[in-house]
A and B are shown apart, each in its own frame.
Chain A
Amino acid sequence: MTRHLLKLLWNRRSANALVGLEVLVAFLVLFAVLAAAAHYWDYYRRPLGFDPTDVWAVEIEAGTDMAEPSALNPAVARFLPELRSMEPVVDAAATIWAPYRQAGWTTTWSVGERSSDVRLFNGSDTLDRVLGMELLRGRWFGPEDDGSGRTPMVVNEAFVDALVDDGDGLGQVIVDEDRNPLPGGGEELVRRERVIVGVVEEFRPKGELQKPEPSAILRPRLEGELSNDDYLSALLLKMRPGTPATIEQTVNDRLLSMAPEFSFRLQPLEAARTEYLQRLTPLLVPALIAAFLLLMVALGLTGVLWQAVTQRIRELGLRRAKGATLARIRRQILAETLLLTLAATTLGGLLVLQLPFTGWFPQLRPAVLIPALVLATAVTALLTSLAALYPSWLATRVEPAEALRWE
């Protein structure tokens, strides 16, 4: 039966080639949209690593030089106890950037043979309490790490997987050396040692769609000899639930009275999160356009198949006259369409499977590629079957006598 259908398809190859091309392109469009959706969904469903509820961010605005840690961190050290003393503030911490801010600091670290890009973030001693972060093992850093000569850090699981050979990662020391040129010529060797004191499951401060990758939260120094590594630019305040937004101005005024040379920008993290997700909504435009394109394809295919059925009225009439049941005629049209779809999607699938080898789309990891491929094939088949529904019904309306009168 299948061979017979293939022969029928082959007989009308020039018309079918065009229909096949249309199905192929529709499949590719569907794949692109579904792959993008799978990519974002895969990121979105993963844990964020922190809880933005009732947390307010205070971004500190200063001129380029004022933002240097040597000027800013001592001020932060004064702000934190003052803020904690305010009535609606439960706790306060300082960070390199406010969460949901699209800024990043990455570096490459190696341990023995292993090497990995690492995303770094500075957070002060109380960050875990402010952001409700839960440690899988180890502890958060604190004053007990003062004077150890090593910067303590809390890392995520991906970090441990990427850089630690065996064990749970606690106590692992990471050394990086940097040659800094000296103003008068020559070089100075800067050696930094960092040690893992705690491990969290995940930490993605840029938001729900941040790529999960090895990350570390380092303890910045607030006083003493400071370097660029100690950079801070935001304060985070855990507020009592139900604190009215009108307190924002009170907090702002308090900070301004302490340091009029800076400017402060307050925003609840939940508002920042809403804004962040809103900025992503234009991503839906391509999906909307694709939906319309597919509707157009479905309508077009209906028309083409409809015409094909009318054209084959004699062939179908003959089959009816030879005793084919209505259901069999109907099945023939549907099966032909599905075979054509299968051919087109197989070709499309083969094309798409080449993409990971080109290296152009690193996002096409198996967790994205496979569901997108399966779904795109299924939806394409559904679409073409729907388009064949009316024409196949039309084919059963053929009266054998009527059809054969043509000859």
Chain B
Amino acid sequence: MLTNYLKLALKVLARRPFFTFVSLFGISFTLAVLVTATAVLDHAFGPLAPEVHRERTLFLDYLILEGERSQRSGSPGWVFLERYVRDLPGVEEMSVYSEPRRVFAYQTGEKSGLQLKRTDAAYWRILAFDFLEGGPLAEADVDGGAPVAVINETTRDRLFPDGTALDREVLVEGQAFRVVGVVADVSQLRTEPYADLWVPLTATKTSQWMEEFHGDLHAMLLAESREAFGPLRAELAARLAAADVPQPERFDRMLAYALEPFEIASREIVGSDDDGRPATRELQALLVGALLLFLLLPSVNLINVNTSRILERAPEIGVRKAFGASCHDLLGQFLLENLVLTLVGGALGLLLSVFAVEAVAATGWIRYADLQVNLRVFAWGVCFMVLFALLSGLYPAWRMARLDPADILRGRSL
């Protein structure tokens, strides 16, 4: 019976090519947009290299000092991180590194804009960078503030077009850094590992950053496991509650949280509550809302097209009903037909999304984007497809199964 239904479904699709084309266009386009969006989200939040331990990593990148009338917020500085974040329980490794900063290198007669990040040695142990040449910044380099640097592949090709970069010098802002390693490019959406040029945390012109409470530093905390997040966060909160707030005449409390990347994105995109906690739920609601809003028009369109297509087959339904097919049978058949159509459209959509993803990557909006329609994204695509088939097939199928056979056979207008 199922094979019969399948055969019938394909026959029906071939009979009115225009309708089939319209349905397929809608389905494949909608899925291509969804899969591309998912690919970008996955690219930003999935556990991809070099952040191979992302599921048990927390970040601290924002410190708020709050008083009745004044507030100061921004990246924490060295003093704060050493005093309150160092040696939290359940932390396997902690890294301190700076925000990326734009610098220019004048080399090979050209000017290259580079993102420079200062890091400690732990940074290279937590993150699994793919080294093409040389190795990471060593503990001794960071301790001694050695003028050495790791650069990425694109920067190497730009600054040293004639080949290897090891032991050669990059000149930025009047400082010359000797290249000790070259890594594969990391996408801009992976904000914490992303940079073009990494130098030791201590390789600065002055050591003033070591006295800053607010500064330009982030901390990355590799926990032993996700279960360690709770105690870790509780201890941090307890330390801050017991701490002496700097400038007590202006500020009376200090807020900072160890967050996962999605929580950081929530704070940046939506905001935070009165206690500075990120609005994670709001961002989730926003994403789901955007998804439903986007699905509305394609769904209504598909419902309309399907209803039209089904009403056209009224005579066939009348005959089948007259010969004893139950509403249930018909409903099943039409949903199956719709599923077949959606699957064909979905396959086309996935194909289309491969091009769409490549097009997005080619725009250069995301530096070093390595967007891919991978297995995880594909699985999401299939979920969307089934959801879509149900959304757009139920109403027409129900309407069709409800038709009165006598009316149809008599040829009454519907």
Which residues of A are interface residues toward B (Cβ below 8 A)? 15, 18-19, 21-22, 25-26, 29, 61, 63-66, 181-183, 185, 245-246, 248-249, 252-253, 256, 260-267, 281-282, 289, 292-293, 296-297, 299-304, 306-308, 310-312, 314-315, 406-407
Contact = CB atoms under 8 A, between A and B. Distances in A.
Main DSSP-derived SS at the A contact region: helix
A306 B18 contact: yes
Given A15-B307, A297-B301, A303-B18, 19 more contacts: A18-B304, A25-B300, A64-B208, A181-B249, A181-B250, A183-B249, A248-B106, A252-B106, A296-B25, A296-B297, A299-B22, A299-B25, A301-B304, A302-B22, A303-B22, A307-B311, A311-B414, A312-B413, A406-B411
B109 A63 contact: no
23 contacts: A18-B303, A22-B304, A61-B101, A63-B208, A65-B212, A181-B250, A252-B104, A252-B106, A256-B173, A260-B205, A261-B206, A262-B205, A263-B173, A296-B29, A296-B297, A299-B21, A300-B301, A303-B18, A303-B22, A304-B307, A307-B308, A311-B413, A314-B413
Given A22-B301, A61-B173, A66-B206, A249 B106 contact: yes
Interface of B: 18-19, 21-22, 25-26, 29, 33, 77, 101-104, 106, 109, 111, 173-174, 204-206, 208-209, 211-212, 214-216, 249-250, 294, 296-298, 300-305, 307-309, 311-312, 363, 365, 411, 413-414
A64 B212 contact: yes
Contacts of B111: 245, 248-249
Contacts of B211: 65
Contacts, number: 128
- For A266, A311, A314, A315, the residue with the greatest tally of chain B CB atoms inside 10 Å of its CB is A311
Main DSSP-derived SS at the B contact region: helix
B77 A64 contact: yes
A312 B294 CA distance: 33
Contacts of B365: 281-282
A316 B49 CA distance: 65
A297 B297 contact: yes
Given A264-B173, A300-B22, A185 B304 contact: no
Nearest to B26: A296
Nearest to B19: A303
Contacts of B303: 18
A63 B249 contact: no
Contacts of A302: 18, 22
Contacts of B302: 300
Contacts of A253: 174
- For A15, A19, A263, A301, the residue with the greatest tally of chain B CB atoms inside 10 Å of its CB is A263
- For A296, A302, A406, the residue with the greatest tally of chain B CB atoms inside 10 Å of its CB is A296
